[in-house]
Every structure is written in structure tokens, then in C-alpha cells.
Copies of this chain bind each other. A is one copy, B any other.
Amino acid sequence: MIQIVTGDARPIFKQIVDGIRMQVITGKLPVGSKLPSVRGLSMQLTVNTNTVAKAYTELLSHGLVESRKGLGLFVIKPKQILNEQEREDRLETAVDTLINETIGLDFNNDEIMHMVQSKLVQLYDKKTK
């Protein structure tokens, strides 16, 4: 179940993207499964259909799902589309963001490392369950 938080820094469509991605990561939406329909999800979240459609467009362009005309969107096996340099850059940027967000909260390195480790393991557990 995706939670839309109005006070969130992220726009609604991004929250939906992240929510779907998280469900894919945790295995709630396995490869081959169908995403909720645009209209269905928009009603459930009480947001406009265009907003959901925009989120879905982003998922499409990220290669996480594919569109089967008249049927809906389906989770696909992630293809490696980006080159090595680009992949590395994106990871680096994401880590920079993490550090920037946590810096000033006065965590030491071990605490941060521990949280990352713990989250990664949690995901792995959910996935293989």
C-alpha cells in the first residue's frame, strides 16, 4: 500500500514512483505482475489520474515496467541499459545525497554504515522469503 504524504518534499508522482519501486524491490510486485490500473490507483490514493499516469510514464522510461496495450503495465526483468560509467555516477550521486542528508545529524561513520547494512539485509530477507 502506497502512502501519499502531502507535507512530503517529494511531489506526489515521485512518491508513487518510489512506492512502486519499493514494492518491486521487496518482491510485493514480482516480475511479470501487473501494476494497479491508473484509474484504480488514482481513486485509491485520491489523486488525479494524470498524476498516476505521470508516475507510470517515469517507471516506463526507467525500464522497470513495460506497457501492454489495452492490458496495463507489467513489471519486467530490469535490463542493464546504462553504461558502467553512468551506473557508477548514479550510485555515487545517491551516496553523496545520503551523506549530505545525514551530515549535521552528528552520526558517526559506523552508525551510518550500520543502518545501510541493516536496511539492505532486511530487503534481501523480504525478497527471498
Contact with B along A79-91 (1 / 0, CB 8 A): 1111111110011
**Residues A12 and B107 in contact, CB atoms below 8 Å apart:** no
**Copies of this chain in its oligomeric complex:** 4
**Residues B104 and A113 in contact, CB atoms below 8 Å apart:** no
**Residues A22 and B103 in contact, CB atoms below 8 Å apart:** yes
Question: Is the C-beta of A31 less than 8 angstroms from some C-beta in chain B?
Answer: no
Q: Which of B68, B86, B98 contacts A95 (CB 8 A)?
A: B98
Nearest residue (CB) in B for A78 is B104
Contact with B along A87-128 (1 / 0, CB 8 A): 100111111111111111111010111011101110110000
Distance (Å) between the CB of A31 and the closest chain B CB? 12
Q: With A and B bound together, what is the CA distance between A94 and B102 in angstroms?
A: 7
Nearest residue (CB) in B for A110 is B120
Give every chain B residue within 8 A of A129 (Cβ-Cβ): none
Q: 3 tightest CB-CB pairs across the interface, nearest first? A: A94-B101, A83-B83, A7-B66
